[in-house]
Chain A
Amino acid sequence: MTKRRAALMVAAVLVLVLAAWAVNRVLTRLTGVGPEADPIIAERSAPPTAIRHISATLFSGSKDGETLVPHQQEVVLAEGIVPQGREILLAQLERPTPPLVAVIPEGTTLRAFYVTDRGDAFVDLSTEVSSRHPGGSSAELLTVYAVVNAVTANLPTIRRVQILIDGREADTLAGHIDLRSPLEGDGSVVSKP
């Protein structure tokens, strides 16, 4: 009898602990109060089962290094153009799976993404996009248009994209492609997958 009562008490305590944990999770989600973290990273680290995805078109180098190849990738669905643009660019900056070739220097991170009323987007990348770039107009072309096309191909309301480096307007990434003005997406550098 004593043993049975003890087992029931343990079970009741466990149920209470689980209930308290569940209530805490729900309240945290509802109020938005939680640990301080980069919002982009926080969103991406959430359990995948709880988040919906879209299929985005991303761009990587072709096997021969001459063109960009479009490929589809699951990207977190976000509310609004700016959060969605961030998600797409974060996926674009990741290393592609071979035989696709990376065209964005390793270590490049997204500092900011915003859109003006005119429909021009600004992609602010870390300095690695320039300092680690191998140079050459062909490689530079692929880097620039992988970023520009990733935005214009997935966000139809955005017509042009300007790349910033470390928060500032830049002449070029590596001395060739003019970055002083927003660029339109360019299909001529894209080949069929």
Chain B
Amino acid sequence: MDSTISEQRSRTPLRSTAIEGLKIVVVGGFGVGKTTLVRSVSEIRPLNTEETMTQAGLGIDHTHGVADKTTTTVAFDFGRITLNEQMVLYLFGAPGQERFWFLWERLFAGTLGAVVLVDTRRIEDSWYAIDRLEHHGTPFIVARNNFPGPLHGLEDVREALTLSPDVPLIDCDARDRDSAKHVLITLVNHLYALSSARETVS
């Protein structure tokens, strides 16, 4: 029965010429608008999946004995953007809670970069995500989801996040397609600048 349903689900297939999958991760606390942002730019209705892993499969150093074997489950959603004949960008909305970062390498190694989506009413939710991204050396930008309207200036946000001046910080409206698109372009522009600078040095 359910195979009939899944066959009939309106899945939009990729072009047969697609060869290159890319990843960008949107990190943020619950209710900050990650899924909304993904939905605004995705060509498919956002899909949800999860990764489950016992500690043995985590690939991290653990100082405790094997006796405390634990299972970690992280749910995340994603959307898709066909960039051209060959390239397809997957946009992941991922929770920033602690257990998620155990799976970061496993799931998001090779990600182009990350967007930290911030709700200024709960700015402290973002500290941990920014700390972890810096730890992993993943380039990122910060986007303030500007709903229901800003309470603070962006420079106050930069200060509250103790964000380095070279990390782009912008306002966005996750519900708006052009605004969500601008968030992605700002990130990739940032990556382009970083990559160009490295090529000049080396």
Real binding pair: no
- Interface, chain B (partner A; CB < 8 A): none
